[in-house]
Chain A
């Protein structure tokens, strides 16, 4: 049952991820990306990480997708002005993505032992996560707030026009 569900979710995830790349309209790509995010959330549930699954849906499928849509609208992708990529560029992109895949697979191959170790029940509950976060990983948690602060300042600095050129 679990294995069948895993295969189904994986198939859906890979298919929608491919559709993200191959669809001509960038807005369709975003919609397919939402399906991909939902299937990845399903994978999280299969891995016993319930909180992560819910957060993934809320933050990625909810908030980040809006940002993606805004970026697409900011880019002004008209059908006429859309740049036609040459074959050399496509070839280079395939090589770059393939190298990234090799690096990811290579780095994740060694983690098999760790995954099997942490197979006890309730590892993904909010309660367990909170206990770990506020005791063992307190410093990274506090540093996260600095990261968010830096992101806020950066967004305001880049997005807010200064008083001097405010005549628009």
Chain B
């Protein structure tokens, strides 16, 4: 498990440390510096000025989930394009044809989604 180029990840590590540190310091600072007024109205749930009623956890429309799952599928598809794009020149036309087969199969799915109207909200 000896990794000689671990020092190369120092900028990424620094970025993570600063991002996390910023969040932590801001949260602590707001708790320390901010005034504390704990009245009933202040702690009430704010909902665009309208009086909130009922529970927040109601079952919601399946369409949100459908959009999310379709997003994940196309996300995975795009990830497969990274190794191809990096090797684009060395793979020549052969790689292009292979990728075209891959994409065309997914395009079938894309047109299926469009034809079925899965992305149409009003219906």
Do residues A152 and B1 form an inter-chain contact, with CB atoms below 8 A? Answer: no
B80 proximity list for chain A (CB < 8 A): 141, 144
Flag B85-123 by CB within 8 Å of A: 1 or 0 each.
011001100110010011101101110110011100001
Q: Is B46 at the interface (CB under 8 A from chain A)?
A: no
Give the residues from 113 to 168 in chain A that come closer than 8 angstroms, CB to CB, to chain B: 126-127, 129-131, 133-134, 138, 141-142, 144-146, 148-149, 151-153, 155-156, 159-160, 166
Q: Is B30 at the interface (CB under 8 A from chain A)?
A: no
Do residues B66 and A134 form an inter-chain contact, with CB atoms below 8 A? Answer: no
> Whole-angstrom distance between the alpha carbons of A155 and B58 in the complex?
22
Do residues B79 and A59 form an inter-chain contact, with CB atoms below 8 A? Answer: yes
Do residues B84 and A134 form an inter-chain contact, with CB atoms below 8 A? Answer: yes
A145-B116 contact given A67-B72, A70-B64, A166-B123, CB 8 Å threshold: no
Chain B interfacial residues counted at CB < 8 A: 50
A129 proximity list for chain B (CB < 8 A): 83
Give the residues from 12 to 30 in chain A that come closer than 8 angstroms, CB to CB, to chain B: none
> Whole-angstrom distance between the alpha carbons of A166 and B115 in the complex?
17
Stretch at the interface among A43-51, A83-91, A93-101, A103-111: A43-51
**Majority-rule SS of A interface residues:** helix
Cβ distance A69 to chain B, nearest Cβ, rounded Å = 9
Give the residues from 1 to 46 in chain B that come closer than 8 angstroms, CB to CB, to chain A: 1-3, 6, 9
Q: Is A102 at the interface (CB under 8 A from chain B)?
A: no
User: How many pairs of residues, A versus B, come closer than 8 Å at their CB atoms?
Assistant: 134
A141-B102 contact given A46-B1, A58-B79, A134-B83, CB 8 Å threshold: yes
B102 proximity list for chain A (CB < 8 A): 141-142, 144-145
> Whole-angstrom distance between the alpha carbons of A148 and B58 in the complex?
31
Q: Nearest chain-B residue to A6 (Cβ)?
A: B1
Do residues B98 and A142 form an inter-chain contact, with CB atoms below 8 A? Answer: yes
Do residues A152 and B65 form an inter-chain contact, with CB atoms below 8 A? Answer: no
Do residues B72 and A63 form an inter-chain contact, with CB atoms below 8 A? Answer: yes
A51 proximity list for chain B (CB < 8 A): 82-83
B residues whose Cβ falls under 8 Å from a Cβ of A:
1-3, 6, 9, 55, 57-60, 62-66, 68-73, 75-77, 79-80, 82-84, 86-87, 90-91, 94-95, 98, 101-103, 105-106, 108-110, 112-113, 116-118, 123
A sample of 15 cross-chain residue pairs with beta-carbon separation below 8 angstroms, ordered by A number, consists of A3-B1, A5-B6, A59-B75, A63-B71, A67-B72, A76-B59, A77-B57, A130-B82, A130-B84, A148-B77, A149-B109, A159-B63, A159-B66, A159-B69, A159-B118
9 closest A-B pairs by beta carbon, nearest first, are: A130-B83, A159-B66, A130-B87, A152-B109, A145-B105, A149-B109, A63-B72, A145-B102, A126-B86
